[in-house]
Structure 1
């Protein structure tokens, strides 16, 4: 992330390159007249030097260390191809830590491969899988398609010759249950009940499809599809994270916006004072409702129990996405995600952990990236002396299944 300079002191990678002009300054110059003995007898013109600016990064050395250590160990343990993690200060938009593995030592680059120099947190793009499901539920609530206590028919069904089903069998689920069980059928029904542009607008407003504006060279803008025609299958899979590409940084930005209950703030790699007010992109009450539902994911019965942090409430979503091969077809390789905010009662930190192509048996986000999330977020909360907020208060909205009327939106 920091990068390095060449022998002339010019930044050629990372922050050193992105902020080279501020870090370098400009030398001064003077035009003089001398006598035959070489003595200066007249100053004709003089340009004062411009000193280099000090750059105070938002990166916290302690939090960067725990993030790097946990990510490195996870990639190695899971025999994965690579990994990335991003931690954001929600109230300010400051990046507190950003890790990428494989990496290199900028003070000793001997033996480093060219690929090691890439900051995967900003450059690598993947389909985000189930991590987008909270946005689908928010959009459905905003459009009045469902209410917070609605129950959805989640039986398997067929679209365009393809079977839409869940990992487990759940005939019906509440909205909380759709998140806790990560129901593809549930979000598919919600997506099919709304114009696809409504979901697209939510994805855009939360930060997908555009660069974050962080200012680092090599950042990808990801990809949102531009289709004239959307099949029902396209609309369904779009709701569980296929058909779009995002970077780990973009995903962290989305979750920081969830953690601020719908306020979209610009991100910064330098210290921010005072904090930017930001722009509201979703009603506060609605986002708060869904954020509370997300707490069920790390509770018993959820797909992200390994992301739980002792003594703290966390709102989290795991995800697993198949990778696309060189021929444009899906292959048996996976990306494991865990994204969330904490403490859930008053979110201060948003964290995303991405493990690319784990090959040690497990590959689901709840098994591979969730423990890394737990380790990093737990260390962050304790290092920052954040007061524990315990278990979530009892709420009907954390019900997963009950026997009331079952509805299929739009039916």
Structure 2
């Protein structure tokens, strides 16, 4: 036993023990130094690492503003929906997309194949955010949330909904999946309708729950937008345009109705249209707002402007008679559809005499006629503020031949839009006061610029009433018990090469009631049939909606009565003058 004690004492050496203690103390010292360094000298790195793992910046969405008509009826609203997104890194860390019933149920709810869902997640192993579905209904989102799948999250968002469906669709346009306007009013007024999203900095635990709100930048609310259009007038205008285009076997059309005393657009229709709530079957061409984007030669609708210019320059008097025999200019025969040796100024408009306005145009410097066209609104954008509006085309020539001057007087050689044509006739309806147009509601009075003496415009407008009377070219535009001043017109369509082709554009423009004009509208139709006859306004006037009367102060309509090719508004107690629509439609093969 003594021997074993001696052996144990021999195995214990103070040096080894000392070295071990020193090593332990050194390690502890290094740890203390490191802790001190991290806690006292350089704590920022730890804080940064912590923030990277727990801090998240979340957007504060702002709901897109509502679009309503002039009476407050909703035309475009935002409805709550949800988006499904996945954190691929979290999902893969917890076993990935499995083939259990919960994963299969979610894939089925999102209309995805389970293998496709797994591939989308596995293709982004280091991503922390990936959309799986957008704009699903709240009930579907709630059901997915109850599945409690790893890495699957929901996010609130909104989707645009158009309560009236196809009504005013070409004017309103639509938004993309991110609620940004990409067509029509939605695009033109996108900044006003979207507001400014806010941001919120939060701290989350490892389960994704918010445990602390750090900072918040509040969202700037979006503004609602009240348009000048009236949904009921818009519906009637679209119905009349639809019937006219179909009846004439046309391809497309456009219509505009303007409130004369304010310049407000009361309706703006296009054909074909589409349903913005379901655009799957719509063609790209269906989205066009033809009233502002498509151009055509205005044809005979400019003849009232020619008469006004001639009266202003003293070339003729209201009771003058003009020689309307056919004649030849530069090898081209200028003639009318019927044979009229001479016509009064009223007769020139009633019979739509090309020879009559040609003589008037040749008797004056061409610049005077150009100035009148421009003053009334041709050759420049209306300033309505809608994306895609065309300014039309006003010819810029150093030399005008005799034939050019003659044809310019019956609407050839310049290009206009349906909106510009409506604007011109609104100026006629206001007896020569040009007012800026507005697509948003405004209150009168609206100041304008006088571009033609009132006496002259009043005289010519009175002459225009003969067009809708028996013997005129726009008898189908007549409204029983109301005075209307209209003008029909046609022109050949211009092909891609700049040459005329065997397709026609027909249109009607006017103001009503002529005794106290309140509204103006216009219509056009493009035809391909060579046998198309312009006499008696068979097409252009046929698409003229007939608006009889309404309660003028608040424009509240008592009832809707079918009348002629369109509709009329009448108040049983007060038949105040209300509107005359000018529709524009076209047709091609």
Secondary structure of 1:112's counterpart equals: coil
- Residue correspondence of structure 1 range 308-319 to structure 2 within 5 A: 308-319=478-489
Indicate how the Cα distance of structure 1 residues 359 and 97 shifts in structure 2: closer, same or farther if over 3 A, else same.
farther
Asked whether 1:76 is paired with 2:255, we answer: no
- Residue correspondence of structure 1 range 280-359 to structure 2 within 5 A: 280-357=450-527, 359=529
Does the CA-based 8 Å contact 2:429-2:518 persist in structure 1? Answer: yes
Match of 1:400 in 2: none
Match of 1:373 in 2: 544
Asked whether 1:106 is paired with 2:293, we answer: no
Match of 2:62 in 1: none
Indicate how the Cα distance of structure 1 residues 382 and 38 shifts in structure 2: closer, same or farther if over 3 A, else same.
closer
Unaligned runs of 5+ in 1: 390-411
Does the CA-based 8 Å contact 2:200-2:214 persist in structure 1? Answer: no
Asked whether 1:249 is paired with 2:436, we answer: no
Secondary structure of 1:323's counterpart equals: strand
Structure 2-normalised TM-score? 0.63
> 1-side partners of 2:191 and 2:243: how far apart?
36
> 1-side partners of 2:494 and 2:202: how far apart?
65
**Cα RMSD after superposing both structures:** 2.3
> 2-side partners of 1:246 and 1:384: how far apart?
36
Does the CA-based 8 Å contact 2:202-2:211 persist in structure 1? Answer: no
Match of 2:318 in 1: 148
- Residue correspondence of structure 1 range 11-410 to structure 2 within 5 A: 11-29=181-199, 47-357=217-527, 359=529, 362=532, 364=534, 366-375=537-546, 382-383=569-570, 387=575
1:139-179 CA-to-partner distances (Å, cap 9, x unmatched) read 00001111111100100001011000000100011111100
Match of 2:19 in 1: none
> 1-side partners of 2:185 and 2:214: how far apart?
42
Secondary structure of 1:187's counterpart equals: helix
Alpha-carbon shift at residue 317 of structure 1 (Å): 0.3
> 2-side partners of 1:183 and 1:58: how far apart?
37
Unaligned runs of 5+ in 2: 1-170, 549-562, 578-589
> 1-side partners of 2:503 and 2:414: how far apart?
17
1:306-349 CA-to-partner distances (Å, cap 9, x unmatched) read 11011100000000111112232222211111000000000001
Q: What is the number of equivalent residue pairs in this alignment?
A: 387
Indicate how the Cα distance of structure 1 residues 42 and 77 shifts in structure 2: closer, same or farther if over 3 A, else same.
closer
> 1-side partners of 2:429 and 2:520: how far apart?
7
Indicate how the Cα distance of structure 1 residues 100 and 235 shifts in structure 2: closer, same or farther if over 3 A, else same.
same
> 2-side partners of 1:40 and 1:121: how far apart?
54
Indicate how the Cα distance of structure 1 residues 25 and 130 shifts in structure 2: closer, same or farther if over 3 A, else same.
same
Alpha-carbon shift at residue 384 of structure 1 (Å): 7.1
Secondary structure of 1:382's counterpart equals: strand
Does the CA-based 8 Å contact 1:334-1:363 persist in structure 2? Answer: no
Alpha-carbon shift at residue 108 of structure 1 (Å): 1.3
1:212-269 CA-to-partner distances (Å, cap 9, x unmatched) read 1111111100000000000000000000000000000000000000000001011111
> 2-side partners of 1:75 and 1:96: how far apart?
21
Secondary structure of 2:521's counterpart equals: strand
Does the CA-based 8 Å contact 2:252-2:525 persist in structure 1? Answer: yes
Q: Greater shift after overlay, 53-62 or 365-374?
A: 365-374
Match of 1:402 in 2: none
Does the CA-based 8 Å contact 1:91-1:275 persist in structure 2? Answer: yes
Alpha-carbon shift at residue 34 of structure 1 (Å): 11
Does the CA-based 8 Å contact 2:173-2:186 persist in structure 1? Answer: yes
1:266-290 CA-to-partner distances (Å, cap 9, x unmatched) read 1111101233211111111110110
Does the CA-based 8 Å contact 1:79-1:358 persist in structure 2? Answer: no
Larger radius of gyration: 2
Secondary structure of 1:136's counterpart equals: helix
1:105-163 CA-to-partner distances (Å, cap 9, x unmatched) read 11111210000000111000000000000000000000111111110010000101100
Indicate how the Cα distance of structure 1 residues 374 and 26 shifts in structure 2: closer, same or farther if over 3 A, else same.
closer
Indicate how the Cα distance of structure 1 residues 360 and 311 shifts in structure 2: closer, same or farther if over 3 A, else same.
farther
